[in-house]
Structure 1
Amino acid sequence: MAAKKPIILAVDDDPQVLAAIDRDLRSEFRKDYRILRVNSGPGALETLRELKAKEETLALVLADQRMPDLEGVELLAQARELFPEAKRVLLTAYADTEAAIRAINAARLDYYLIKPWDPPEQLLYPTLHDLLDAWQVSHKPKYDGLRLIGFQWSPVSHELKDFLSGYMVGYQWLDYETNPEAKELVAAKGYLSTDLPLVICADGTVLPNPDKASLGNHIGLTRTELQEMYDVVVVGAGPSGLAAAVYGASEGLRTLIVERQTPGGQAGSSSRIENYLGFPTGLSGAELAHRAWSQATRLGAEFLAPQEVNKLCVQDGYKVLTLTDGTEINTKAVILTTGVSYRTLDVPGMDRLSGAGVYYGAARTEARSCDQQDVYIVGGGNSAGQAAMYLASYARKVFIVIRGASLAASMSAYLIEQIAQTPNIEILPHARVTEVCGGDHLEAVVLDNNGTTEKRDARALFVFIGAKPSTEWVADQVLCDPKGFLLTGRDLVTDSRYATSWKKDREPFLLETCVPGIFAAGDSRAGAMARVASAVGEGSMAIKFVHQYLDE
């Protein structure tokens, strides 16, 4: 969508004069500016307020001095309050020249023009060109994309920031408490602080306190027209799910992928993945997920997001998935790539401050707000190491809290080496967080370090401890191990505890669950390797087994 041209507003109560100035302005400036005209001072003031509410750009106002109800000088003074950057020119008769000169100082006008201005090529255009050139030099075009206005310490605002970032939707964040523009925008749109967070879309649509589903609709994510029957539905858009969607669509299967949050799963929140094949300089998890998402879409896969599946049942061999909104999806095969989520840190204050300084996962959207402050990371895996490296670019100090003596047992060597070479990252071995403190946001953490308790100031705490599979909703249909991970393939027939669960004459395919035609791939599968490359490989392999199942 092309950006709107800036506006030149002409105001005069004399119809003939107004028509003349409108004609001359259009003749010279209509290529680069929109020309508006109003025939009264009060009418012009109302127009200015409407332009402000619509976030239009005003470049210049020309107003006649002698108008009933509202003189030109007073109108231009009020215009300055609404549009401080706009140039202001007074149209006056020769007899009012002295008053116009005084008004330049009193009302801070930019110039005055004496009527008539014939010929305009000499008496009008040169002056206005100079003023508009000066305006262009100082003018900063307003951001015309999606804007999110909220409170820095609001968990709901944090969720929306993460949601938009997860889909790589560009947006401008405006903190209502510290940014005057945010307050002006909220008031101009007719809303109150109680309506926050407020999303202003590029087309002007305003969404007060939206849920992710409605926001997804406005950024073009959610599909409402579903096919009567799919060949395969992939539940979860992590690396394994995206790989399954790419290969399923490319091989001609009617493929649908359903994602409840954002694509990429835990990998999607990684600030830098440096050991993924084919990317020697590394790439972010969000970039990898976005590339895969785009690739699958180009090949014909359909996406439903953000939507959550909460029920799976089998009817005459077909699978029926039920979404939280009651929608049912019919498919011949299902690939479960639901991934895992970080376990919660069970210490005082965590629930109260979650999303307000305490975050599970990388929370890249909050990195800039940690500028020159201390942050803490709990966990010693690769995700924790990648987050530490990313946060170190902003924070004064990054502390990695681990229970063990070193990172060697749980983190890749390349990350350990990078951390060792980063001066503002410090490892705290044999330590654990025992409490988080603060009013409406995190202010301090309490550490137990080898039996010594210490309270430290903290801007943010990022938690990366263990993982639990997101399989609760499907555990009544397919077998899981005692930890909740999905059992597949040979585990169903070689382990005596599960041997009776498989009823078909053939052995289950390598990634097949106890229900024929339902497959599992990625981190939620028992025995899976927690690596991006492994997850991608399993998602690709699952499509091969779907073909074999459909051919039976």
Structure 2
Amino acid sequence: MAKPAILTVDDDPEVLQAVSRDLRHQYGDRFRIVRADSGITALDAVQQLKLRNEAVALFLVDQRMPQMGGVEFLEQAKVIFPDAKRALLTAYADTDAAIKSINSARLDYYLLKPWNPPEERLYPVLDDLLDDWLAGFRPPFEGIRVIGNRWSPFSHQVKDFLARNQIPYKWLDIELEPDAAKLLEYAQADGRQQLPLVLFPDGSRLIQPSNLEIAAKIGLQTQAERPFYDLAIVGAGPAGLAAAVYGASEGLSTVLIEREAPGGQAGTSSRIENYLGFPVGLSGSDLARRGVTQARRFGVEILTPQVVTGVKLQDPYRVLQLADGSEISCHALLVATGVSYRWLNVPGAEKLTGAGIYYGAAMTEAIACSNEEVYLIGGANSAGQAAMHFSKYASKVIMLVRGESLSLSMSQYLIDQIAATANIQVCTGCSVVEVKGDEHLEEIAIAHSKTGQTEIVPARSLFIFIGAIPKTDWLDGVIRRDTQGFIVTGPDLTQNGKSPPGWPLERSPFLLESSVPGIFAAGDVRSGSIKRVASGVGEGSIAIQFVHRYLSNV
């Protein structure tokens, strides 16, 4: 933690140097001594300290200064740091001004020049003031702060990126937090049009940043360290992470490329309770964190956020083309990009995405939903896990399920938990047919299949879990996919015992191998896979066996 600051201000260089020396001698081990030669310079320094989220314990300020006197400075400084102690350093002739400032600037003490010897005339007074300040001091949050609007899709994107990459941050809503508008002013941002504003501990800031800009600032690796790897894995969900751990631990130089955040769709789950070896369950973020730690321990390079836009075949190499124009070559490629939630295709949904409509659990929005009614669309495990999580914050969680029962698509343990949770309501035979709102979601239209009626209800938050689709367009024309875009592998490629058209080898494709030798698929992106976390982990680890067999003949 950064030391709290003591700020001393005096326009006389000799006095400023002397008081700084005495302060540093007595308090330098516990406090950072900051000095300024004018009230205007000091006010700018105070604003920068606020932007860096540092604490100020004491202002020790000379009264008689040009342009801005000590009392005037303290009146403005106490707005920025209201809890800091305020002491005026003044000549005997200015004692009347000092006494008057006890009320106007809420002065805690005034000291007369000269203060020698400091052991008798300076330190005892400041010791008392600093002890009093320390008694009520609560260290500020040390990390990234995000200032934005709850209903801004851009703000949601920044929060979601930081949360899913497990980067601690503090959210300041411009509508609710008094300090938010002040910080915006100190950062010289052009009003609310430039939200979100991201403030970093070193005092730097980014306005409406992209995920890539944030990643570069916080030190995430986005560029590969070398041009060639034995194994490249696209997608860092459970399947990709498992493959990375097994591949690297078995001696393969491995790079793992993820477009958003490690963990994939599973990483957004609030609780996974049926994963072997965790009897009390674990969150998706915990699973992702453990997997990333394990992969890095074995030397896996993890690039995030980074997007693969295409692949070229230059036998015996597979060349990945990245969104930034760079390329990575590899002998073997594993596609483990998982799936994304299907978009809600109803009037108004596109406009309100990120402004009340969210896909997946959107854990970053849970606290914002405190004491509100929350609507969820979907009846599978992911929707059930989210309902249980939101029930801790929302006054009521309404699950809108198209089918007649949860038992057709949800694990029994979740059904039992939902039934036992008083503030979760399950509405079967229900579907959303329209959403409405100007700046943010305000109403949703719910069609009831049993009655044929449509109900309009007020709503501020709608979370969507309506099936999944793979993002495999970048493989178009390279490997065979089914009609939905899932990658066809292994025995599903053969017809009447014959290898797929264009297959160049005498052997048949391996179990998880695609229609191109050396390109494998694992997890949810694979056609016919079982959509479970354990299945993804299993396929990712099994794929490495076939990668080794492929590499042995390259």
Aligned to 1:60: 58
Range with bigger deviation, 241-250 or 500-509: 500-509
In structure 2, what is the Cα distance between the partners aligned to 1:238 and 1:153?
A: 28
* Cα contact 1:11–1:64 (8 A) shared by 2: yes
In structure 1, what is the Cα distance between the partners aligned to 2:501 and 2:38?
A: 87
Distance apart, 1:15 and its partner CA: 5.5
Range with bigger deviation, 461-470 or 18-27: 18-27
Distance apart, 1:305 and its partner CA: 1.5
Aligned to 1:549: 550
In structure 1, what is the Cα distance between the partners aligned to 2:34 and 2:398?
A: 58
* Cα contact 1:492–1:501 (8 A) shared by 2: no
Distance apart, 1:396 and its partner CA: 0.9
Aligned to 2:87: 89
SS in 2 for 1:395: coil
* Cα contact 2:39–2:69 (8 A) shared by 1: yes
Distance apart, 1:126 and its partner CA: 1.8
Trace 1:9-408 onto structure 2 (pairs within 5 A).
9-13=7-11, 17-41=15-39, 44-45=42-43, 47-48=45-46, 51-52=49-50, 56-94=54-92, 96-192=94-190, 193-408=192-407
Q: Provide Cα deviations, 1:161-200, integer angstroms capped at 9, x if missing partner.
A: 1111111111111122332222222221222132222222
Q: Provide Cα deviations, 1:264-320, integer angstroms capped at 9, x if missing partner.
A: 111111110000011111111111012101111110111122111121121123211
In structure 2, what is the Cα distance between the partners aligned to 1:474 and 1:46?
A: 53
In structure 2, what is the Cα distance between the partners aligned to 1:518 and 1:68?
A: 73
In structure 2, what is the Cα distance between the partners aligned to 1:264 and 1:435?
A: 32
Distance apart, 1:431 and its partner CA: 1.2
- Paired residue total: 550
Against the structure 1 CA distance between its residues 194 and 253, is the aligned structure 2 distance closer, same or farther, given a 3 Å change threshold? Answer: same
In structure 2, what is the Cα distance between the partners aligned to 1:17 and 1:213?
A: 48
Range with bigger deviation, 130-139 or 151-160: 130-139
Could you state the TM-score of these two structures normalised by the residue count of structure 1? 0.94
One-letter amino acid of the counterpart of residue 208, structure 1: I
Distance apart, 1:86 and its partner CA: 2.0
Against the structure 1 CA distance between its residues 495 and 213, is the aligned structure 2 distance closer, same or farther, given a 3 Å change threshold? Answer: farther
Q: Does residue 479 of structure 1 match 2:480?
A: yes
* Cα contact 1:270–1:387 (8 A) shared by 2: yes
Against the structure 1 CA distance between its residues 285 and 50, is the aligned structure 2 distance closer, same or farther, given a 3 Å change threshold? Answer: closer
* Cα contact 2:523–2:540 (8 A) shared by 1: yes
- Give unpaired runs (5+ residues) of structure 1: none
In structure 2, what is the Cα distance between the partners aligned to 1:93 and 1:305?
A: 60
**Two-structure CA RMSD over aligned residues (Å):** 2.2
In structure 1, what is the Cα distance between the partners aligned to 2:525 and 2:40?
A: 66
Q: Give the % identical residues.
A: 54
Range with bigger deviation, 511-520 or 83-92: 83-92
In structure 2, what is the Cα distance between the partners aligned to 1:374 and 1:501?
A: 55
Range with bigger deviation, 243-252 or 102-111: 102-111
Q: Provide Cα deviations, 1:302-356, integer angstroms capped at 9, x if missing partner.
A: 1122111121121123211111222111111111111111112211111111111
SS in 2 for 1:63: strand
* Cα contact 1:493–1:502 (8 A) shared by 2: no
* Cα contact 1:509–1:545 (8 A) shared by 2: yes
SS in 1 for 2:6: strand
Against the structure 1 CA distance between its residues 431 and 123, is the aligned structure 2 distance closer, same or farther, given a 3 Å change threshold? Answer: same
* Cα contact 1:213–1:222 (8 A) shared by 2: no
* Cα contact 2:500–2:515 (8 A) shared by 1: no
* Cα contact 2:381–2:410 (8 A) shared by 1: yes
Against the structure 1 CA distance between its residues 75 and 381, is the aligned structure 2 distance closer, same or farther, given a 3 Å change threshold? Answer: closer
In structure 2, what is the Cα distance between the partners aligned to 1:532 and 1:116?
A: 72
Range with bigger deviation, 118-127 or 272-281: 118-127
Distance apart, 1:392 and its partner CA: 0.5
Distance apart, 1:5 and its partner CA: 2.2
In structure 1, what is the Cα distance between the partners aligned to 2:52 and 2:109?
A: 27
